[in-house]
Amino acid sequence: MLRAQSTGNNPAQTTVSEATLAEIHKLTGNFLVDAGVSAAQLAVTRNGVLIFSEAYATKPPRGFSPVNKQTLFRLASCSKLFACAAIDALHRREKLDLDAKVFPLLKIQAPASRRDKPDPHINDITVRHLVEHAGGWNDHESVRAADGAHIPGTEWDPVFSLRQIAIGLGLSSPPSKLDIARYMYGKPLQFIPGTQNFNTTYQKSYSNFGYLLLGLIVESVSGQSFIDFVRTGLGAESDTSNVYVSRLLEKARDPREVWYIDPGSGPTVFDPRSSEKLMSAYGGGGFLPEMMDSAGGLMTNAETLALFISRHAAWGLGGRNPRSARTGGMPGTASLACSRRNGIDCAYVLNTRNFNGGPSQQDKYISSLESLLDQL
């Protein structure tokens, strides 16, 4: 049985429609039951003040704590809004030029494999290109041959292909973020940097790897790890003390972290030589959160996420941006962060991306949720 944990009375709620908040609660509960989601959080703020927060969950599996509003959930691509905020902070402090060339900045001058030859445009990629998904990589598009024709079967996402990269580099363990960057330095681009981006391709141009590079840039410029800069370098007005990097191994898992549900499985990411199969959300999905922190490996709660976008853009650089939104999805995770024109910011986190009835269930929920948010 799905249960909800409410915020209780909040003085800020007197300025909004209690009836609409009740509708949001009912809509969310119905969606979670119908979609078969066993753990979730939803938070709503108005002008930076929390007005609604719920944690929903069934009984936890053995070894996990009951879900509450402080339970930590992986964010998947909603991690990227923290990467944008970090890049923006360094730029505003005049420590980073958005038009700086990425690979020279990272001091990467040669591919990891001597067999590879860098793309002629690889050193033209700028920080701004990465933010806009304009760097030359597209997770959903195949590589082009010399004559411009697409090569079938070459669509792939490097941050979800760590086993393949480890094998390519002859490693006996997962590659580091720098290993991934050097490996990709020797691979062909899918388009010339700056000639297309997320908006010009109707949201089809998208690169997780580009955001991995943004995290490396934050580390190079700040002298801190990406997560340390997010937690300490964004200013006192941004409370990121509850933002962490998720870990796959049980012995490294934060006891406050939720369980994840995904039907898939695959070869272990921990040892490229092993044929052991693991659940996709726990090592069989080709990814490690700590190797994709800035691209999708962070975790927090819905309250922290909603409050953060009341000060920072949900998409792109800069401060709060009305009508901006970002979604996330990976094995065991679905997330949303959205800002509305009426001062409302909303975030949810779920412990699965697989829904009874398919992806359209979530699409319908988001559409109905946004309609109610606009009534607050």
Q: What percent of the chain is modeled with pLDDT above 90?
A: 86
Place of tokens 């002298």: 223
Choice between 190 and 226, residue whose per-residue pLDDT is larger? 226
What distance, in Å, lies between the first and last C-alpha atoms of the chain? 29
Rounded CA gap, 39 and 58, in Å?
7
pLDDT digits (tens, 9 = 90+) for 30-57: 999 999 999 999 999 999 999 999 999 9
Read off the pLDDT of each residue in 305-331 and give the average, rounded to a whole number. Answer: 97
245: which strand partners? 298
Say yes or no to pLDDT of 14 above 90.
no
For residue 331, the model assigns a pLDDT of 98
Task: Strand 325-330: give its sheet, edge to edge.
Answer: 3-6, 49-57, 39-46, 344-350, 333-339, 325-330
> What top-level class would CATH report for the domain 1-60+301-376?
alpha beta
pLDDT confidence tier of residue 15, bands split at 50, 70 and 90:
low
For residue 68, the model assigns a pLDDT of 98
| Cβ-based neighbour number of residue 191 at 10 Å | 18
Give the three-class secondary structure for 235: coil
For residue 17, the model assigns a pLDDT of 87
For residue 13, the model assigns a pLDDT of 44
Rounded CA gap, 124 and 103, in Å?
9
List the chain domain ranges.
1-60+301-376, 86-222
Read off the pLDDT of each residue in 224-232 and give the average, rounded to a whole number. Answer: 98
How large is the angle between the packed helices 177-185 and 162-169, nearest 10 degrees? 70
Compute the mean pLDDT over every residue in the chain, rounded to the nearest whole number.
Answer: 94
Place of tokens 């996709």: 280
pLDDT digits (tens, 9 = 90+) for 153-187: 667 899 999 999 999 999 999 999 999 999 999 99
C-alpha 261 chain-centroid distance: 17
Cα-based distances in Å from 130 to 114, 233, 318: 26, 21, 15
Rg (Cα) of the chain, in Å, rounded?
Answer: 21
Say yes or no to pLDDT of 8 above 50.
no
